[in-house]
Amino acid sequence: MISWKDSLDKETDLYPTQQALLLQFSERLSFGKAISEQGVSLLVQAKDGHLLLSGALDSRHTGTVQKLDIPLEHPIQQILDTGKPFAGLLEWEEETDSGITVETYHAYIYPIVDNGGKCIGACAFTNPVSEVYSNRYDEFMSMVSQTTFQGMLVPQLQQPELYGGISVLDGIIFFEQDGTILYANRAAKKLGDIFGIDRRIQGTSIYSSTLKVGRIKKALEDRLGTIDEELYGDIALRQVMIPVVLGVRWKRGILVLQDKTELRKRDQQLLVKNSVIKEVHHRVKNNLQSVAGLLRMQSRRSTSEDVKQALQNSIHRIESMALVHEIVSNFDEDYVALRSIIEELWRLLRQGLGSSEQRIDMEYIGEDIIMSSHKASYVSLVMNELFSNLFKHAFKDRIKGQVQVEVRDVRDVGHYDMLHISIRDSGCGLPDDFESTRKSHLGLQIIENLVRNELDGRISWTSKGTGTVVDIWIHKGEEYARLSSR
């Protein structure tokens, strides 16, 4: 697909400032089509006499730049040559499966002139005659086309949000600066029944309706567009006001009415759902902390060092799960940032397992990955076991140490999206019998089972005398992809 910029560079002798004007105009073709409910095209004469066309004469011509051979006596060529507007019936040859056919259009074509008054292009508003059933079509569409064209030609450049997101379901009203309604589409007429606008609508005043028009009036006075959302009983209505300047003292308004009631109801339902989820996570956290408290009491009463150690390990595992629920309870949805879990878990374990003389620092490197609370619970258990082993073994007799946790999005050899978590420490390294004894350690078994069975991943351990590197690869899957697209 050839872009307008490439076409203007290659096919015309227009200056950069003239090209910039046409490029800005081309960006608002979709807006013009939505507002006027007609086909809207940008027409430019190429240096070899051909016609460059982009936009829509009908629903089949959208988005691409076409280069067409048009006879010199054709009305479009005359418009580009003379710079005079055209209103009337226009015949257009089109290629179909059965050959060349001639379609007749109602057409309103306006010249686009540069600062020096030279015609550099034209904008055509068209609709096939076969699709027009109103005997007042020309009366209304002439005004609609002229106003829309002026709104496209002299837009609110600092407010691009005014020109997007308009659909066929939206109500559109054109009115004079005194409030007289000139035209309203079908969707606007349906909404008019709700807001007390006369069913005859054309010729009545928009200011006599129950619409909240204070901002509408001010937008016209200030020549500055506005976007507001107003409540009318149970109805949430988004009002997009676009002022159109047609002369020194002549102004019109285009009012877009968008019914957001269902969207706001869904937002409210989602808010209630999120509040319930947050409360559930809060209660689960409290229950887990109560269990940890009971185990802590039992540990203090036990006279066996082995029992105390086993209970303390269980307490740390329970607290790591409680940590996830605590963090999630402060989020608006049921997901959590991995970095916050890792950093808070490190802080808790350093307080519980490290001595006051030790200076063991942890550095988080890489991306702040978002994941569901379900997956985060498993990751927190794995990190709990790894961090606990660092304090119990890697830095057991050391005062200083460094730990780096690096998290990256990667792709494996099968081109699957993976989450790579790498934990490097400056501790004493792995013992010589690590491989032969790893299956006898409960903590290492927990890590292996969680990574393989719950996180659908794999883990590796490497050590070269000083320090250890633990690499964990986790398949992200649909759950991660959905969360990362928020």
Q: Which pair of structure tokens corresponds to residue 329? A: 């309870």
Using 50, 70 and 90 to split pLDDT, how confident is the model at 57? Answer: low
CA dihedral for 382, 384, 390, 392, sign (positive or negative): negative
Answer whether 144's CB lies under 8 Å from 174's CB: yes
Q: Which residue has the higher pLDDT, 132 or 9?
A: 9
Q: Which CATH number fits domain 160-259: 3.40.50.970, 3.30.450.20, 3.40.630.30, 3.40.50.450?
A: 3.30.450.20
Query: Which pLDDT score is estimated for 60?
Result: 45
C-alpha 61/C-alpha 41 separation (Å) is: 9
Using 50, 70 and 90 to split pLDDT, how confident is the model at 196? Answer: low
Burial class, 169, CB count within 10 angstroms (exposed 0-12 / middle 13-18 / buried 19+) = exposed
Query: Which pLDDT score is estimated for 113?
Result: 93
pLDDT tens-digit map of 375-401: 887 888 888 888 888 888 888 878 888
Best mean pLDDT range from 96-100, 125-129, 231-235, 478-482: 125-129
Query: Which pLDDT score is estimated for 295?
Result: 84
C-alpha 345/C-alpha 88 separation (Å) is: 74
C-alpha 99/C-alpha 90 separation (Å) is: 20
Domain ranges of the chain: 4-153, 160-259, 268-333, 354-486
Query: Which pLDDT score is estimated for 442?
Result: 75
Answer whether 382's CB lies under 8 Å from 435's CB: no
C-alpha 416/C-alpha 477 separation (Å) is: 8
Q: What is the mean pLDDT of residues 103-119?
A: 92
C-alpha 386/C-alpha 380 separation (Å) is: 10
Q: What is the DSSP string of 431-482?
A: -TTHHHHGGG-HHHHHHHHIIIIIS-EEEEEEE-SS-EEEEEEEE-HHHHHH
C-alpha 418/C-alpha 409 separation (Å) is: 6
For the cut 70, the answer to whether the pLDDT of residue 369 exceeds it is: yes
CA dihedral for 209, 214, 216, 221, sign (positive or negative): positive
| Owner of token pair 């699709």 | 131
Using 50, 70 and 90 to split pLDDT, how confident is the model at 58? Answer: very low
Of 325, 361, 356, which is closest to residue 340 (Cα–Cα)?
325
Give the fold, CATH level 3, of 354-486: Heat Shock Protein 90 (3.30.565)
What angle do the packed helices 373-389 and 338-353 form, to 10 degrees?
Answer: 30
CA angle, 389 as apex, 349 and 336 as ends, to 5°? Answer: 50
Strand, coil or helix: 91: strand
Q: What is the mean pLDDT of residues 100-112?
A: 89
Same fold, 4-153 and 160-259: yes
Q: Which residue has the higher pLDDT, 322 or 457?
A: 457
Q: Which residues contact 224 (CB under 8 A, 6 or more apart)?
A: 156, 159, 243
Report residue 154: phi and psi, to 5°. Answer: -120, 75
Answer whether 420's CB lies under 8 Å from 410's CB: yes
CA distances from 183 to 129, 157, 395 (A): 20, 25, 78
Q: Which residues contact 201 (CB under 8 A, 6 or more apart)?
A: 181, 184, 188, 189, 192
CA distances from 293 to 248, 290, 297, 468 (A): 77, 5, 6, 33
The two beta strands, 400-411 and 359-366, are parallel
Q: Which pair of structure tokens corresponds to residue 199? A: 């069913």
**What superfamily does domain 4-153 belong to in CATH?**
GAF domain (3.30.450.40)
pLDDT tens-digit map of 401-442: 899 999 988 876 655 678 899 999 988 888 878 877 777 777
Q: Which residue has the higher pLDDT, 294 or 44?
A: 44
